[in-house]
Structure 1
Amino acid sequence: MRQLVLALPLVLMACTEPQQQNKVSTAAVEVTVLKEAFEMPGLNRSRQVRLYLPPGYGTSDKSYPVLYMHDGQNVFDNATAYAGEWGVDETLNDLAASGQLELIVVAIDNGAEKRMTELNPADHAEFGKAEGKAYVEFIANTVKPYIDQHYRTLADAEHTGIMGSSMGGLISHYAILQFPQVFGKAGIFSPSYWAAGQQVSWFENQPAAQEALLYFYMGGKEGDSMVPDVERVYQAVISKGHATEQTQYHLVADAEHNEAAWRNEFKTAVLWLFNARK
């Protein structure tokens, strides 16, 4: 776990590009890049991970809930983002200052040219053999145990969430279904169900854990089958008996498929996911 990995550019949805010298970092001081890259079992590669700790972490003895996010290059820093960052660190600093939420965020960088297979649980004729199962296992069995061992976390599923957009939304939904004992909440932003092909029916027929919290988001101008697909899956989740008070679906009519839209939605989603039971 010694080799540091920098992602290469990939001109696909919610991707990334390497940091450029003329781009100034916008990451808050609460964000660090973990020094050791994490080996990904079964995938013969390693991955960089970014970490946000709440402002009061260093002066407290509290344990905190944790949110795992994909496309880590886009989460905290405009210098590494493909098309603008989510501003997760600034949003959470504001929420901590107002006493609404203190949260650890673990952001896993995407694999550039491997992104479309790593974040897909289904084989795809164009993109190749799915690696989503191995990727989710990597988060659950490698990254999370490391974070729980080295930081003060509330490690149970009730206090652990997973969130992403586009392909990251797709794999977040898959993760909470595959690992209900690990992830108790999922932010499913603009999920690319189209990439799962015929296996999208799996998401309709696979029930989430009874206590799971699911937050679906979609922009009305994302195009193609994006809106019909998420509404089809959401309705299936409800029809299968998942409690409506544990499920949210937010459609923003004029929003497009981009980081600016996801940044605007993040605060609402994270507050609901981590405060819904209070």
Structure 2
Amino acid sequence: MKKIYFLLLVSSMAFAQVTLKITGLPTTTPANATIYMAGTVNTWNPVDPNYIMQPDGSGNLQIVIPQGTGTVSYKFTRGSWPTVEGNATGGFLPDRTFTFTAAPQTINLTIQSWEDLGTGASGTAASNVQILSNSFGIPQLSTTRKIWLYLPPDYATSTKHYPVLYMEDGQNLFDNVTSFSGEWQVDETLNTLFSQGNYGAIVVGIDNGGGERLNEYSPWVNAQYGGGHGDEYAAFLANTLKPYIDANYRTRPEAAMNAVIGSSMGAIISTYAACEYPNAFRKVGNLSPAYWFALSDMNAYINALSPSVLQNHRMYFVCGTNESTSMVPDVNTVKNNLMGKGMTAANTITEFDPAGTHSESFWRTKFGAVYVWLFQNENMLATTSSTYESPKIMQTLSGKIYVEGIPSATDFEIFNMLGKKIKTITLSNGMYEMPDELSKGIYILKSKNDEIESIKLVRN
């Protein structure tokens, strides 16, 4: 009988409760935020009303997990997975765990950051920089990426609409904590310019993909180093990220008010994105561009563009004269080819700096001048998109149909080379995939009312 009693006692002790106590929160935590525990004990429900952290009367938050067995995995949220807790730098935090023991436990915990709000810690990012998402979806590449967002100092107190800078290598732009070798100080530079009377701009910083950086920043393959996924990445910028930003923030969505800026490999993809999606981006900052990575492919691509497609583009090229033996001639070659497609001398600037190096510290010193020049003389107070001199219909090198300057949706007819009508499609301004019904061959795209010049389509 005593033996049975002893076993029952041990069994009872093995189910002792666990108290989870939050003793520290990041400074970014919103006032009166409701914090939930989500884990294996409640099927990972991020907004379970039975697992709300409660005040303990001493300035902490706690929850008592009833007696149980085994190991429990869990995290804290503010009511959804986008608001889950993060690590010390605002990134992904692996699951927390505890194991039930024979005695009651109290586990003291500190939440270091929220993935959607950043750390609020002692990094160098200004207070008007936030983490838009630590896992923003890139459907074109079946992956996710951390996205930074800089809002001008008067964003919350005005009704202004702002130009937008889409910048590569986001981890190097705002914060020394996340930078590779020093940050660009984009936030400090823009805040200073704003205090001096500059209108202001929104900056969207996209983290690079680490080991995938070379692959994503070049549409073309370098036999030694990789590449080849730049087309998908540029499509993400134009077709996924930009529409999201325009829908959720007070932007100037027209192409003339949107820039892509990058350095080294980031300059390759910035140049390409503005050429491939001229209806989305018309301003480009090319800092120390690594055009050598795919020089012949890039030049072939540019030379295949339709004439005058870049007549409204504006590009700033800057590099150090001693960065490499090919840097200056490569920049000049690409620039001249771009000008052959309509980009004017007035809308092009090239700066070769004898003291320039291939480094964040060099690019930091040039960013302000690049930004100011790209947007100088623009009417920042306009409330409607700019109009175009004449409609443009063309096929991009990647095969898409690009439409610009059409005042309203227009019907187009597609004919084969024998004159037989294959399909009628309706197009507005934007970029379109070739219709699936078309087999390989050459076609003619013609506006139904004959008011727009017909073009040749090639389905490869």
Give SS of 1:48's match.
Answer: strand
| Residues 1:269 and 2:360 are matched in the alignment | no
C-alpha distance after superposition, 1:106-146 (max 9, x if no partner) = 00000000000000110121233511000011111111111
Quote the Cα distance in structure 1 between the aligned partners of 2:346 and 2:181.
34
**Mapped contact 2:310–2:341 kept (Cα < 8 A):** no
Q: Which stretch shows the higher mean deviation, 136-145 or 239-248?
A: 239-248
Give SS of 2:165's match.
Answer: strand
| Residues 1:55 and 2:156 are matched in the alignment | no
Partner of 1:94: 192
State the Cα RMSD in Å: 2.2
Task: Pick closer, same or farther for the CA change 1:144–1:240 going to 2, 3 Å.
Answer: closer
Give SS of 1:33's match.
Answer: strand
1:183 to 273, 281, 300: 281
Quote the Cα distance in structure 2 between the aligned partners of 1:72 and 1:57.
21
2:316 to 206, 215, 218: 215
2:335 to 234, 238, 256: 234
Deviation at 1:270, TM superposition (A): 0.4
Deviation at 1:198, TM superposition (A): 2.6
Deviation at 1:209, TM superposition (A): 2.0
Which one has the largest radius of gyration?
2
Mapping for residues 165-176 of structure 1, pairs under 5 Å: 165-176=263-274
Task: Pick closer, same or farther for the CA change 1:170–1:129 going to 2, 3 Å.
Answer: closer
Q: Which amino acid aligns with 1:150?
A: N
| Residues 1:117 and 2:215 are matched in the alignment | yes
Quote the Cα distance in structure 1 between the aligned partners of 2:312 and 2:91.
37
Partner of 1:147: 245
Quote the Cα distance in structure 2 between the aligned partners of 1:171 and 1:94.
28
Partner of 1:14: none
Quote the Cα distance in structure 2 between the aligned partners of 1:251 and 1:221.
9
**Mapped contact 1:158–1:184 kept (Cα < 8 A):** yes
Which has the larger share of helix?
A: 1
Which has the larger share of strand?
A: 2
Give SS of 1:242's match.
Answer: coil
Q: Which stretch shows the higher mean deviation, 32-41 or 97-106?
A: 32-41
Partner of 1:43: 141
For structure 2, which runs of at least 5 residues remain unmatched after alignment?
1-80, 93-118, 380-460
* TM-score, reference length from structure 1: 0.89
Partner of 1:127: 225
For structure 1, which runs of at least 5 residues remain unmatched after alignment?
8-20
2:352 to 242, 251, 260: 251
Partner of 2:401: none
Q: Which stretch shows the higher mean deviation, 49-58 or 27-36?
A: 27-36
Deviation at 1:211, TM superposition (A): 0.7
| Residues 1:106 and 2:207 are matched in the alignment | no
**Mapped contact 1:64–1:102 kept (Cα < 8 A):** yes
2:298 to 200, 206, 230: 200
* TM-score, reference length from structure 2: 0.54
Quote the Cα distance in structure 1 between the aligned partners of 2:320 and 2:362.
8
Deviation at 1:150, TM superposition (A): 1.1
Partner of 1:79: 177
Quote the Cα distance in structure 2 between the aligned partners of 1:240 and 1:46.
34
Quote the Cα distance in structure 2 between the aligned partners of 1:243 and 1:163.
19
Q: Which amino acid aligns with 1:238?
A: M
Q: Which amino acid aligns with 1:255?
A: G
**Mapped contact 2:128–2:152 kept (Cα < 8 A):** yes
Quote the Cα distance in structure 1 between the aligned partners of 2:342 and 2:238.
26
Higher relative contact order (CA 8 A, sep 6+): 1
Aligned length, in residue pairs: 264
Quote the Cα distance in structure 2 between the aligned partners of 1:126 and 1:167.
15
C-alpha distance after superposition, 1:162-202 (max 9, x if no partner) = 10000001110001000000001010111111111431323
C-alpha distance after superposition, 1:23-53 (max 9, x if no partner) = 9410000100113522112312101100000
